[in-house]
Structure 1
């Protein structure tokens, strides 16, 4: 009888070092590519913000230098009635400019109709005011709003209406500047909304038409809900741009206009204190206040978007 030797098969254990994959040898190369951008953000964004925070607690001397005065600039800011008037004027301007978004939705829907001839030309014509120099546009509108020889008052005189002095009458001056902002906001909004309209599937319109929906019903039930993300984005950038109102106000009214104290925006209020009165510490507090206000308004918009923005 022969004895057979039973051998247990030996299972080779894989090398864990090999199965773990190749060792990462990236080293410092990723940081080298990120470093220029990070350095630029720190130098041109974070450091100026930190400096502004520090300057808001100081008072600048006539010949330079800063003196630490604590929260005196902030206490003065919250007690200054001009600050609240500037906030109100900026909100009024923003509200009038925001009225252009529904008009831009309507115009974008017309321009993006299938088979429309010269659609690209219409987009260019609407976009030209956005890329033109703001000061040049403001000077043209200043001549049009002139109370003595402006074309607007001339057109009103043809129907028997004696036009007012638009840019030197309290109340009307801010409305005039706001109308220019209303007109100038169409270009970018139409392009963004037009891109949003192209992303809406045509099948939805065809299905709604087969169900007997009228054009207005299709616009209200298909276009508006699916275009709401684009409208939300346009609303965000329009409000942020409106809170930075300065160049049109300065070019149309001028710093010596008697209605300017009652018409100034937040940024003009900052300019007047920082560059005219040379009170840079107080101006730094105004700049931070503008940053905080824009941040609060933007957060409120993002919180409210759940009620009307449809991402489905």
Structure 2
């Protein structure tokens, strides 16, 4: 055999490894055991602490139990029928929706504040961000006590100011039905603006400055740049805040519990859906009714969130 033929028979093909040193490659979909093990542990925790309580709550909503949750008896839709037959369910839904709508007002307000904080050439931006973010870091229950003093009908700072400007008989804010839920909503709005401003400030930093320069060359002033450049490119952050704000609004409880409390004459008219759940499950020890209320809250949040996700296709701009 010729030397060339011998070389051709023994030399490996270009790009191929020898059988002895060749490593087996897994398929593109094969990730190995360790990633699956780590993700599996995480998903196990999520399933135990998140999904199983939801499933258990759904089961409990069709049952009637004793005060300690034992001796369950299947009652079908009776808990849901009793919930919607309660006279205060309408006011609870209305209070929750009103609180959520007032919180949503804070989103465009936060857009304006964040745009002013992120103005080019403004000094002390970090200080302004800290000032707006501090209320979000403070303990809600402690801050609520301060707002209770501000809302006090006799010596509160708000009523003192109203008397100075000529209001002779300002309302007792947190003990008057109708005013109480608005007062709590303003408190929630004040607490949420700091978080909104930080998220929107991050979104503003992601807008290329070249777009503002191009708009300026085309003759767009500051207001037009805000309308046609800032707001459209900030819509992903606005959409995110609208989702989180809506979910937070439907979870209204701690602000009401801290500022209104029990024994307040305005308390029966200012209950939210979560307050109703708390009274049924933990005060009246009716866990089946409380579970049904929790499922209704979950459905409300899910429906509103799905509507928001469907509607965002028409106004959210992803660059």
TM-score (norm 1): 0.91
Match of 1:151 in 2: 157
Q: 1:202 to 1:262 in 2, by over 3 A?
A: same
CA distance in 2, matches of 1:64, 1:191: 43
Q: Residue 284 of structure 1: which of 281, 284, 291 is its match?
A: 291
Alignment of 1:1-312 (within 5 A): 22-24=24-26, 28-62=33-67, 64-65=69-70, 66-161=72-167, 162-312=169-319
> Cα distance, 1:295 vs. partner?
0.6
| Contact kept in structure 2, 1:270 and 1:286, CA below 8 Å | yes
Structure 1: segments with no counterpart, 5+ residues: 1-6
| Contact kept in structure 2, 1:53 and 1:288, CA below 8 Å | yes
Q: 1:310 to 1:63 in 2, by over 3 A?
A: closer
| Contact kept in structure 1, 2:118 and 2:201, CA below 8 Å | yes
Q: Deviation per CA, 1:205-258: give whole Å up to 9, x if none.
A: 111111111111111011111111111111111111111111111111112212
TM-score (norm 2): 0.89
RMSD between superposed Cα atoms in Å? 2.4
Q: Secondary structure at the match of 1:136?
A: helix
Q: Deviation per CA, 1:184-210: give whole Å up to 9, x if none.
A: 111111011011111111111111111
| Contact kept in structure 2, 1:61 and 1:67, CA below 8 Å | no
> Cα distance, 1:12 vs. partner?
10
Q: Deviation per CA, 1:255-301: give whole Å up to 9, x if none.
A: 22121121111111111111111111100011111111101100000
Q: How many residues are aligned here?
A: 305
Structure 2: segments with no counterpart, 5+ residues: none
> Cα distance, 1:83 vs. partner?
2.1
Q: 1:210 to 1:27 in 2, by over 3 A?
A: closer
> Cα distance, 1:74 vs. partner?
1.5
Q: Secondary structure at the match of 1:179?
A: helix
| Contact kept in structure 1, 2:133 and 2:194, CA below 8 Å | yes
CA distance in 2, matches of 1:100, 1:297: 18
CA distance in 2, matches of 1:183, 1:27: 49
CA distance in 2, matches of 1:12, 1:54: 69
> Cα distance, 1:64 vs. partner?
4.4
Q: 1:238 to 1:63 in 2, by over 3 A?
A: closer
CA distance in 2, matches of 1:307, 1:232: 12
> Cα distance, 1:29 vs. partner?
2.8
| Contact kept in structure 1, 2:280 and 2:287, CA below 8 Å | yes
CA distance in 2, matches of 1:227, 1:62: 50
> Cα distance, 1:28 vs. partner?
3.6
